[in-house]
Amino acid sequence: MAGKRVDVARLLSELRNKYGDTVKVEDVAKVMGTLLASNTGELAGASRKIYTELEALNRYIQSAKAEISALRPDEVTDEFLPTATGELDAIVAATAEATNAIMDATEVIEGVADSLEGAQQDSLMDATTNIYEACGFQDITGQRITKVVNTLKDIEDKVDALVTAFGDKMDKVENKAAKESQAPAAPEKLSDADLLEGPQRNGEGISQDEIDRLLAEFD
């Protein structure tokens, strides 16, 4: 028995009027489901093969949607990532506090050194200098952790985009993707933002000696 006939052109026109040229994944799946249901028994040969493929695609989309939903991406953006970011911020605060405590003590030692003379004073001053130098770790680790936090925020945005693609905000995702596709792949001139990527990992940046040589080339 032939299924109910469907006006495909009208269906597509309705979708276009409602969403423009971007359509939610679930609506695509609905259209395919409707088409398949309407044409049962009417098709043969190549057409039957095409519709079988569409049916498989429909099942695949529904399955993917269910799997993504089961992964609870909202939990990742609402709970896991903010918790991780909070922990990292706490590390920065704790190391800053510890570093300042170390420097408090070092400044007391330096005060004592001022009252001494000769080799004893030199020895204590050298030691306090070394401590101040070593305290610079807090600045470097703080910047590295900030980079990790920014990466987590980037992941959060991407998970949000994935959730949106299977939800009600498809337009937003498409608009973002369109903007990104229009952006230049590799700017010829480095912007100020391009120059803010430090601290570099071992092998990525250059050493103080190499910086000195590079600067000397300008003289």
Residues at the contact surface with other proteins, assessed by CB under 8 A:
96, 99-100, 103, 106-107, 110, 125, 128-129, 132-133, 135-140, 142-143, 190, 192, 195-200, 204-208, 210-211, 214-215, 218
Question: Is residue 69 within 8 Å of residue 166, measured between CB atoms?
Answer: yes
Question: Which of residues 27 and 114 has its CB atom nearest to other proteins in the complex?
Answer: 114
Least Cβ distance, residue 136 to other proteins (angstroms): 4
Q: Of 185 and 190, which CB lies nearer to other proteins in the complex structure? A: 190
Nearer to other proteins, 37 or 93 (CB): 93
> From the CB of 82, what's the least distance to other proteins, in Å?
22
User: Minimum distance from CB of 176 to other proteins (Å)?
Assistant: 24
Query: Between residues 45 and 118, which has the closer beta carbon with respect to other proteins?
Result: 118
34 or 121, CB closer to other proteins? 121
**Three-state DSSP class for residue 2:** coil
| Distance in Å, CB of 140 to other proteins, minimum | 6
Least Å from the CB of residue 204 to other proteins: 7
Alpha helices in the chain (DSSP H): 8-19, 25-39, 45-70, 73-75, 81-114, 118-134, 137-165, 170-182, 208-216
Helix or strand or coil: residue 200? coil
d(CA 131, CA 138): 12
DSSP string, 32-53: HHHHHHHHTTT--HHHHHHHHH
Asked if 95 and 141 count as a contact pair (C-beta separation under 8 A), the reply is: yes
